[in-house]
Amino acid sequence: MKKQTPKKEVLHPDDHFFSVVMRKAANARAYLVNFYPQLSQQLDLDSLILGDTSFINPQFKTFDSDIVYRCRFKDSSEELYFSLLWEHKAYKEEEVAIQIGLYIFQALYKLSKDKDKKLEPVIPLLFYNGKGKWKPKSIKELFQEHPFFDIFKPYLPSFDFLFKNITGTPHEELLAIEERFFRSAMVAMANRYNADLLMEYISVIFDNDDQDHLKFVGTYFFAIIERSPAEIKKAIENLELTIKSKIMSTLTRLREEGKQEGLKVGKQLGLEEGEYKKEVIAIRNMTLKKVSAVDIAEFLSLSLEYVQQIQKVLKKEPSIIAALAKKQLPTRIAKKMKVSVWLVEVIRDLQKGKH
């Protein structure tokens, strides 16, 4: 019996993560420069333009991570473009060459129907971060065991693709990547199934000053890490203050945006709902007593940035109290004011004199 292809859900969150990372031109450039330096030297990387995937028939489109860029060749008298087609796999797929070939010919077919455009070559790139080694087969290799292979071999489509097994890439190569967001993403994806290495390189993964990038990478990291709450909490406590602060502030953002990932992160860090409420109450009460954020952070052993973010959210307390007085549900208030349900419940309980 033919082995069934895993369902799309198996790829979450890797598929979405890779898709978002590679849709940033800076990361596409970093991918080519770091993994295919000889090819990148022949390209005008400043001309990289994210293309559309409308040529891919929805009936055959397997995943949402299919990414296409258009780029010019360097030192060309004409504007000779070609396409780079990225495909991500989180598991071994025996017949991946057929899917890639299908995408190539769909792209060429669409171009052939546009009289105002020239045919452009397509370079396919296959990215893999699954378990174990994998050597994808070409179309010809898929038929190699056929008893009449030598007869029909000349008639099989033949093309190569650039295959990158990120899990087998030396860490020295990944750490040498200059683009910080891309480096964080590649280190995290390379160690997808190795929790020990994820913990070892957590400082590299969170080495970013862009809050959106931190939130995005942090969401992926805490979704894939397989460690007990005690182990993760201990690892964070042993980190440098700057990195610990970034992790804590990332967690706070996820909480306050009310995302499911944020709830999962909180549980993994050992910050159960009761502990979180106690932290918020302590920060609130000390703030009302005019204690500085610096002193609060030091007294509660929290990062300054974390305390300041909680204080910022707590400024909405009067509005939350007014909404509670009107008998509005905490979930509705949280959604309207863009805060966590936890925060609304803390304020509600304080009003009832439970704390």
pLDDT per residue rounded down to tens, the chain (355 residues): 444 444 433 345 788 889 889 989 999 999 999 999 999 999 999 988 887 665 555 554 544 446 888 888 888 766 666 778 888 888 888 899 998 898 888 888 888 888 887 888 888 899 999 888 999 999 999 999 999 999 999 999 999 999 999 999 999 999 999 999 999 999 999 999 898 899 889 989 999 888 888 888 988 887 788 776 567 767 777 788 788 778 777 766 665 554 444 444 444 444 445 666 777 788 888 888 888 888 887 777 677 777 887 888 888 888 989 988 888 888 788 878 877 777 787 788 877 765 4
d(CA 213, CA 217): 6
SS3 of 162, please? strand
Cα 238 to the center of its chain, rounded Å: 25
Q: Parallel, antiparallel, or unpaired: how do β-strands 67-73 and 81-89 relate?
A: antiparallel
Angle at 291 between CA 288 and CA 293, to 5 degrees: 105
| Inter-residue contact 111 to 120 (CB < 8 Å) | yes
SS3 of 307, please? helix
> What does the chain come to in residues?
355
